[in-house]
Amino acid sequence: MNVLTVDLGNSRAKLRAWDRGTRAPIAAADFASVRGVGEEIGAWLDAAPSFEAVALCSVADTGIEEEIARALRIRRPAARLERAPDPGLRIACREPAAVGRDRLFAARAALDLVRGDAIVVGAGTALTVDAVRSDATFLGGAIAPGPALLARALAQGTARLPRIEPAPNPEALGRDTASALLAGVGIGFRGAAKELAERVSKESGLERAPIVLTGGSRGFLLDPPAFVGRPLRVEPDLVHLGLLSALEPEMARWMSSSRS
């Protein structure tokens, strides 16, 4: 049996098809998270492998989410669609319902990967640093801007600073405005990630926990390595793996009900 996971973020809509038995990926596609993406995804679905179930996680505009859900219903009407299944975590936050679903699915996958406590660092449009305990308790964390968002804020919030395209491992000593911006964004992002990981680890009592890193901007934290002296696991598809784990109980119930 094949399943499809959809990680709809603020910048990218990522689709992964999996063999449920082996958890091996069998197809993948990435699209920009913009209005009209439903048509692109629909065209991809026409040629994609068959699948029986879909798990969707969205932190993007609700209109884009509806486009994708509609494309799935039209192109694959027989597939069961589960929008944000239960991640199977106890959420020790003041407002559990307000916690981003992508953070929860990433935390769920981190638990599965390291089989214990974890600090989860998501380097994407936003930087998230979260603590999850081995008893499946999500303790909370921190949210900061990612590199592209930092660069955009500097360009939009000032009169004369240009928009730059951030890149990993810039020189700190910028000798013109563009290189100074590259330094401030790239090295500043690394500094924020390192400090937040250290502080979140200390305040959660998980100083020895491995760091699990994901997200499209993870290269900023790998070249050179930002986290030294503790175990590091890099998993680009962390949210997808969390969706797979969360979907398992739902599929077991569906199969049980279909047999009865």
Best CA proximity match to 10, nearest among 87, 62, 66, 73? 62
Query: Pairing relation of β-strands 90-91 and 137-145?
Result: parallel
Residues 6+ apart with CB under 8 A from 131: 117, 118, 119, 120, 138, 139, 140, 141, 200, 201, 204, 206, 209
pTM of the entire predicted model: 0.94
Q: Domain 2-84 has what CATH class?
A: alpha beta
Identify the pLDDT of residue 251.
74
Residues in the chain: 260
Q: Provide the CATH number for the domain formed by 90-240 in this structure.
A: 3.30.420.40
pLDDT band at 255 (very low <50, low <70, confident <90, very high): low
Is 102 in the active site? Answer: yes
Q: In the chain, what are the domain boundaries? A: 2-84, 90-240
pLDDT band at 55 (very low <50, low <70, confident <90, very high): very high
Residues facing 218 on adjacent strands = none
Identify the pLDDT of residue 118.
98
Catalytic, out of 19, 86, 102, 237? 102
**In Å, how far are 32, 148, 156 from 152, measured between CA atoms?**
17, 6, 6
Q: What percent of the chain has pLDDT over 90?
A: 93
pLDDT band at 249 (very low <50, low <70, confident <90, very high): confident
In three-state secondary structure terms, 78 is coil
pLDDT band at 258 (very low <50, low <70, confident <90, very high): low
Angle at which helix 101-114 crosses helix 238-259, to 10 degrees, equals 90
Mean pLDDT of 199-208: 98
Q: In terms of C-beta density within 10 A (0-12 exposed, 13-18 middle, 19 or more buried), how is residue 52 classed? A: middle
Task: Return the H-helix or E-strand segment holding 115.
Answer: none
CA distance 164 to 188: 14
pLDDT band at 248 (very low <50, low <70, confident <90, very high): confident
CA distance 236 to 92: 26
Query: Pairing relation of β-strands 80-83 and 126-133?
Result: unpaired
pLDDT band at 253 (very low <50, low <70, confident <90, very high): confident
Q: Is the pLDDT of residue 260 over 60?
A: no
Residue pLDDT, tens place only, 85-130: 999 999 999 999 999 999 999 999 999 999 999 999 999 999 999 9
